[in-house]
Structure 1
Amino acid sequence: MYVPAHFSVPETEELHGLINAHPLGILVADTPNGLDANHIPFELDPKVGEHGLLRAHVARSNSIWQDVKDGDEVLVVFRGEEAYVTPTWFPSKHEFHKQVPTWNYKVVHVHGRIKICDDERFVRGMVARLTKTHEATQPEPWKMTDAPADYIQTMLKAIVGMEIEVTNITGKFKLSQNRELRDRLSLGKALIAQGDVALGQATLDAIKEEQS
C-alpha cells in the first residue's frame, strides 16, 4: 500500500482500534486458482505476538480453507470511514481555484501467516466470543444457548476456523493532512454537516493532536 508520510499511522494501538471498530475484513490469499478475496468478520487478540493475532471462520463449503496451507502468507484489509471530498469545501479553492476532488478514508492492511483450525472446540469458543461482543449492544443479547444444542452442533460442524499470526500491520488515515489548516477545518465541519460525522471528527481530532 502506498502510504505518504503525512497519512501514515505508526501507533499499533490506533490500528487495532480501527480493526475492533470495523471487524469485517477482506482476506486476500494467493491460491492455486489465483487470487481469492473473502469478506470475513475477524476477532483480534492484541496480546498474542508482536502485532497481534486474528481469528475467524468460514463456511466449510468455502474452498479457501483448503486452498491455503498452514504458514501461507495472506493479507487482510480493514476499511473504516470514507467519503468523497469536493474542492468547494476548501476556502483556498475559492481564492486560488487550485484544488481538485479527492477521497478521504481510513484503512489498515494486515500481513500474516495463516493456520487452519478445523477443531470444534476452537470454533465454538471463537463463535461464542464473537457473539458476546457483537450482541452486547442489543437490548436482549442472543446467546448460543438460546438455540437447541443439536442445532448449534450442526452449525458448528458447517464452519472451519482459522488464525492469522500478524507479521506486519500498516495504517493509512487519509484526512487531508497535506492541506492548509483552514481547508482541513472547513473539511471536517463539512463532513459532519453532511452526516459523515466519524470521518469529520477524525479530521478535526487529527488537527488537535498536531497542535497539542
Structure 2
Amino acid sequence: MLIHPWDAAHDEGEWRSWLAAHDFGQLAVNGAPGEPPWVQPMHFRYEPDPGPYGQAIAHLARPNPLWHDLEQHPVVLLSVVDDYVYVPGHWTAPEGSPSTHGTPTSYYAAVQLRCTAHVVEDPEEKAALLNRQVAHFQPEGGTAEVRPAEPPFGRMLAGIRVLRLEVTDVRAKFKYAGNKPQDVQERVSAHLAERDGPGDAAARSHQTRRRATGPTAAG
C-alpha cells in the first residue's frame, strides 16, 4: 500500500482510534509457490495489548483450505478498509480551471496489520478466546458461554480453529486529499455534505478533522 506523507496517520492514536471502531477485515495468507494468496473475509476482535501493537482474535472453520499454507507461512496481513467514497473529477478542479479538468479520485481509510499467526487448538484456551470475541460483539450478552465438553457449544469446538494474530507492524493510510489546496478541500467537503450518500459523512468528518489537526494546521 502506497502511503504519501499527506495520507499517513498523524500519530499512532489516529489509527488506534479508528481501528477500535472496526472489527471486520480480510486476512491475507501466502499461498503455495506460484499460487495467489488466500484472502479470507472475517470478523475479529482487536486488543491493544500485549506488545507494542496488540493482537487480533478470530476463528475460522477447520475445513478452511488456508490452514496448510498459514502453518507453512505464519506471517500474514489483516487488512481493514472503510469510510470510502468516490469523488467526481468536477469537484476537484483547481480554482480558475474548467470543472472538466478536475481529477476523479477515491477517499478511504485503511489500516494493515502485519501479524504472526498463532493457531490455538487447546479446548480451554479456544473457549476463553471465543468468549472474549463474543463479548466484543455482544456486550449485552444473550449467548451462552463456550465451555469445553458442555452444551450448547462444547461439541462444536472441534469444528473450528482459533487464531491469535500477534501484530508486529502497522501501516495506516487516511486518503482524504491532504495534498490539495484548502479551497478545493472545502469545496469537496461541501459536495459530500450535499450528496450525503453512503460513506460521505464519515469521509467528510475525516477530511475536516485531518485538516484541523494536521501538520499544516499545527503550524
TM-score band, normalised by shorter chain: 0.7 to 0.9
Q: What TM-score results when the alignment is normalised by the length of structure 2?
A: 0.84
State the shift of 1:111 in Å.
1.0
1:113 lines up with 2:132 in the alignment: no
Query: Does the CA-based 8 Å contact 1:115-1:164 persist in structure 2?
Result: yes
| Aligned mates of 1:74, 1:12 — CA distance in 2 | 21
What is aligned with 1:181? 182
Aligned residues: 206
State the shift of 1:91 in Å.
6.4
1:126 lines up with 2:129 in the alignment: yes
User: Which residue type is aligned with residue 46 of structure 1?
Assistant: P
What is aligned with 2:204? 200
SS for the counterpart of 2:151 is: helix
What is aligned with 1:74? 76
State the shift of 1:175 in Å.
0.3
| Aligned mates of 1:10, 1:18 — CA distance in 2 | 12
What is aligned with 1:41? 43
1:96 lines up with 2:100 in the alignment: no
Query: Does the CA-based 8 Å contact 1:131-1:142 persist in structure 2?
Result: no
What is aligned with 1:31? 31
What is aligned with 1:191? 192
State the shift of 1:162 in Å.
1.1
| Aligned mates of 1:165, 1:129 — CA distance in 2 | 16
Q: Which moves more between the two structures, 34-43 or 11-20?
A: 11-20
State the shift of 1:160 in Å.
0.5
State the shift of 1:23 in Å.
1.3
Query: Does the CA-based 8 Å contact 1:10-1:170 persist in structure 2?
Result: no
Select which of 62, 65, 68 maps to 1:63.
65
| Aligned mates of 1:26, 1:164 — CA distance in 2 | 13
Q: What TM-score results when the alignment is normalised by the length of structure 1?
A: 0.87
Query: Does the CA-based 8 Å contact 1:70-1:116 persist in structure 2?
Result: no
| Aligned mates of 1:57, 1:145 — CA distance in 2 | 16
* Richer in helix (by share): 1
What is aligned with 1:8? 8
Query: Does the CA-based 8 Å contact 1:7-1:175 persist in structure 2?
Result: yes
State the shift of 1:13 in Å.
2.8
State the shift of 1:10 in Å.
5.2
| Aligned mates of 1:163, 1:4 — CA distance in 2 | 31
Deviations, residues 83-129 of structure 1 (Å, cap 9, x unaligned): 00012324636x31332111110001111211111122222222222
Structure 1, unaligned runs of 5 or more: none
What is aligned with 1:170? 171
| Aligned mates of 2:70, 2:44 — CA distance in 1 | 18
User: Which residue type is aligned with residue 125 of structure 2?
Assistant: F
State the shift of 1:73 in Å.
1.1
Structure 2, unaligned runs of 5 or more: none
What is aligned with 1:86? 88
| Aligned mates of 1:127, 1:177 — CA distance in 2 | 40
